[in-house]
């Protein structure tokens, strides 16, 4: 639908959340959902890329693959032998949004999530910020629903 696009708005930068998961947590969550999941044995950093080695896999370390769409949201993520949609990662790990980055620290994976929701349509936080800074309802609607017109019927 042409008017449903992701837009950036000031005031949403306060919606940042960090969630920590141990390797045991990651393995448990994915094993509960996928019987064929091959557990992660270790995670290392090489050249700013997160590499994983799986149990029973003596091959070279593989990349933890994250694909993002044009709005910066995760569209796909490959962990071990499982490829997930960004929305599924959000659900499995109870994240606020699919707009996230991942860090590795002290045997934990950290999801750094920005925003809250699916990123399409009117943001409650962003529209509240706009209203508090003088925007009226027409400006707010036109900001979030690009190309639409407000008319009297």
User: What is the pairing mode between strands 65-68 and 49-54?
Assistant: unpaired
Residue 13's SS3 state is coil
pLDDT surpassing 90 at residue 1: no
Model pLDDT, residue 49: 63
pLDDT surpassing 70 at residue 55: no
Query: Percentage of the chain with pLDDT > 70?
Result: 78
Model pLDDT, residue 42: 78
Model pLDDT, residue 69: 84
Model pLDDT, residue 57: 58
pTM here? 0.71
In this structure, the chain runs to a length of 153
Residue 47 vs residues 50, 104, 105: alpha-carbon distances, Å: 8, 13, 15
pLDDT surpassing 90 at residue 91: yes
Q: Give the Cα separation of 75 and 7 in Å (integer).
A: 17
**Side-by-side strand order, sheet with 82-85:** 65-68, 74-79, 82-85
From the list 152, 130, 133, the residue with the least C-alpha distance to 141 is 130
Model pLDDT, residue 56: 58
Residues 100-124: what's their mean pLDDT?
79
Higher pLDDT, 149 or 49: 149
pLDDT surpassing 60 at residue 63: yes
DSSP state of 58: -
Higher pLDDT, 94 or 63: 94
pLDDT surpassing 80 at residue 25: yes
């Amino acid at each position: 639908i042409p008017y449903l696009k992701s837009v950036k708005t000031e005031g949403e930068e306060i919606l940042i959340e960090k969630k920590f998961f141990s390797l045991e947590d990651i393995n448990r969550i994915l094993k509960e959902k996928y019987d064929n999941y091959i557990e992660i044995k270790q995670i290392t950093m090489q050249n700013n890329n997160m590499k994983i080695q799986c149990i029973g896999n003596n091959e070279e370390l593989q990349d933890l693959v994250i694909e993002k769409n044009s709005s910066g949201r995760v569209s796909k993520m490959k962990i071990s032998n499982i490829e997930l949609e960004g929305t599924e990662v959000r659900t499995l790990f109870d994240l606020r949004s699919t707009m996230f980055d991942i860090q590795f620290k002290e045997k934990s994976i950290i999801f750094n999530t920005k925003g809250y929701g699916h990123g399409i349509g009117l943001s409650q936080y962003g529209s509240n910020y706009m209203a508090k800074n003088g925007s009226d309802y027409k400006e707010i609607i036109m900001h979030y629903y690009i190309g639409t017109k407000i008319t009297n019927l």
